[in-house]
Amino acid sequence: MSNLILVRHGQSEWNLENKFTGWVDVDLAPKGKLEACKAGELIKNQKIKIDHYFTSYQKRAINTLKLILNTLRIKDNNIIKAWQLNERHYGSLTGLNKDEMKKKLGEKKVHEFRRSWNIAPAPLSKKNPYHPINIEAYKNIMLKNIPDTESLKDTYERVLPFYKKEIESKLMKRKNIIVSAHGNSIRAICKYLFNLDEKNITKLEIPTGNPLLISFKNNTEINNCTYLDHERAKDLIVF
């Protein structure tokens, strides 16, 4: 048997300010640090030996993982960082307040941008300081891999090949893995794992700092899945 633990980073500074964040490299808010430490305690209670740990290029996910590993008394020098696990790029919405955009564009339109499968916001100008080409964390990523905007479908199409090659391959060798990432990159993995269609994937909510433990039998057949913090668990749509 192997185990995959998916953790959306703890509350970030821009989660707190209710802004569209995407690829902007903001850090954890104080509450997010506490969520990460609690996630570490919940994982520790499972007494699972962790073999590999993955995260995105974004410090809110990286620091969530570091706090978890510190709680587990695991050195963090073997963390694998992958831009493919980054949050979805929100294009021209990046840095804008979600409530203000609801007033300006209408709640239905904003919900469409946030939760639709294949609709992306307008591209973000490359001159904008929030564009990834202007952010230090992404200086070593090839320009062709840096988006101006993304739909959930676009996010899925960059996350899935990485997941299959680097993570699923290790699960098939009965390894236990933690992935600290983002709402939409985790949503993309869940679409694949739970065979969710394009309608149901838009309904899936991923809570911050709450580890989702997925146990496998016979390589990639899911045996069980549960959020470890039951009081903050979202409904998991599984078919």
**How high is the pLDDT of residue 237?**
63
Q: Where are the beta strands (DSSP E) in the chain?
A: 2-8, 52-55, 80-81, 177-181, 212-217, 221-227
**How high is the pLDDT of residue 215?**
96
**How high is the pLDDT of residue 231?**
84
Q: What's the mean per-residue pLDDT of the chain? A: 94
Question: Is the pLDDT score of 117 beyond 90?
Answer: yes
Domains and CATH numbers, the chain: 2-232 (3.40.50.1240)
**How high is the pLDDT of residue 124?**
98
The pLDDT confidence band at residue 238, using thresholds 50, 70 and 90, is low
The pLDDT confidence band at residue 203, using thresholds 50, 70 and 90, is confident
CA distance to 43, 66, 69, 109, 178, per residue, from 77 (Å):
19, 9, 10, 43, 14
Question: Is the pLDDT score of 239 beyond 60?
Answer: no
Catalytic residue set: 9, 87
Question: Is the pLDDT score of 77 beyond 90?
Answer: no
| Strand duo 212-217 + 221-227: pairing | antiparallel
